[in-house]
Amino acid sequence: MTSPTIDVWNPATEQLVAEVRSFSSEEVAEVISRAESAQRKWRALGLAERQGFLSRIADTVEANLEELALLESTDVGKPIRAARAEVAGVASCFRYYSGAIDKVHGDTISLDDGMSFTFHEPIGVVGVITPWNFPLPIASWNIAPALAAGNSVIVKPASLTPLSTRRLGELIDEISPIDGLFQVVTGGGSSVGAALINDPRVGKVCFTGSTEVGQSILRASATTLKRVTLELGGKSANLVFADSDVQAAAAAAPWAVFDNSGQDCCARSRILVERSVLDDFIDGFVAATRTLRVGDPSQETTDLGPLVSADHKETVEGFLEPQLDYLYRGESLEGPGHWMAPQIVLDPSARSRAAVDEIFGPVAVVIPFDTEDEAIALSNQSIYGLSGSIWTRDVARSLRVARQLESGTLSVNSNSSIRVQTPFGGFKQSGIGRELGLEGLIGYTELKTVFVKTGA
């Protein structure tokens, strides 16, 4: 009997590029059994052996960078320059966690009648469910620390974009010291994803995607009290104060929201600008946006590729209501391909769907404010709290505002959210838990306390 398959399409050409196997629930159960066996062997290995394996993964990713980048570009519609940079970041992630393995320590606690020691123990089998917008980077943020902590890992990539993750699994399997330590299962979320979530042998599930799906995963995980890390939606604010370098903020703003064609949970898609510099900011923002080149992802000069699918393009277009006050509407390419050029909207009320909901496309909304308190209130009125930026020359203001913003990751005079060395995650409905940094590794452990009686 032939196994069912998933069709994988190139979003820039709308051509079928691959058919990928769809695992059955029975096959997922067998994968989990192999992962259980592998994890027992893996946790028994010394730290140096774990470090060596993660370092070899980094070397392997670097040696196959061009192949992985091309798969990522073809799968997602991502410009090839961006795909190369992201694959290089995957290698850096594995290398960082190779070095972090022996940096996580427990505590020694003196007591009247003895001593207590704490240990970070591996959870066991970890299931990772990744999104379609940054398949390899987000997979690595979970695979690397989970392996470093002594767990085995099963990854289910998004059905739209499974190719690069599947190839990474093949490359890691070739150098793995233990069969079944890292496995990739492909298929739909309602079948393959659910099989990982519902199996009590999977000790933790990590999911990156929409808040709605994250809520359903949290509910399903409650049955077995499974540990979860959820990195979910975002509607991040980009606060531009009059005392900032307004032209620098305007020049940086396009990449903050339109990078990856706006398909980014960290996109600073709500741009809050102090009213006294609003016109200057808009002039600079529109001028910088006009320079972005939308086109063939395989071309080195391309800045923005297509949206990932026809369905997603239709969803994004649903936010572009005719009555909106458009400051700029880029001209989209004709098909084939799911093209959408950047759109900039002015919404003084901050009440349109475009200003409130996560669009996940190349749409920015500019919202004026008059006071610092108003800027903070506008930023915090979102149900999300993932990332954001503060542009000001006033150091005291940057710290004061940062402490009041309900967001997990903030940048001052920068639009950069993510570094492998620092924790990443959101407040409110943007998720639960943290990825990256040493906190990301600790999140793949259980804390054990051991008391030793020394008194009579």
CA distances from 128 to 207, 254, 289, 426 (A): 6, 31, 35, 18
Q: Which candidate, 115, 141, 122, 116, places its Cα nearest to that of 130?
A: 141
CA distances from 356 to 212, 286, 364 (A): 16, 21, 11
Residue 417 DSSP SS3: coil
Helix (H) or strand (E) holding 17: strand 15-21
- CA atoms of 402 and 262, how far apart (whole Å): 24
**Token duo for residue 380:** 């915090």
- CA atoms of 42 and 282, how far apart (whole Å): 55
Our CA angle for 153, 158, 163, nearest 5°, is 85
Crossing angle for the helix pair 135-148 and 163-175, to the nearest 10 degrees: 30
- CA atoms of 373 and 369, how far apart (whole Å): 9
- The residues with which 184 forms a beta bridge, in sequence order, are 155
Under 8 Å CB-to-CB from 90, ≥6 apart: which residues?
Answer: 61, 68, 136, 137, 139, 140, 168
* 231 is an active site residue: yes
Q: Which candidate, 57, 23, 22, places its Cα nearest to that of 146?
A: 57
Cis peptide before 336 (omega within 30 of 0): yes
Contact 128, 143 (CB under 8 A): yes
In this structure, the strands spanning 114-122 and 409-412 are unpaired
Under 8 Å CB-to-CB from 169, ≥6 apart: which residues?
Answer: 155, 182, 183, 184
Q: Choose, from 26, 36, 62, 231, the residue flagged as catalytic.
A: 231
Tell me which amino acid residue 298 is: S
User: How many whole angstroms from its chain centre is CA 286?
Assistant: 27
- The CB-side HSE value for 322 (13 A sphere, CA atoms) comes to 0
Question: Length of the chain in residues, anyone?
Answer: 456
Question: How would you write 278-342 as a 3-class SS string?
Answer: HHHHHHHHHHHHHCCCECCCCCCCCCECCCCCHHHHHHHHCCCCCCCEEEEECCCCCCCCCCCCC
Q: Which residue numbers are catalytic?
A: 231
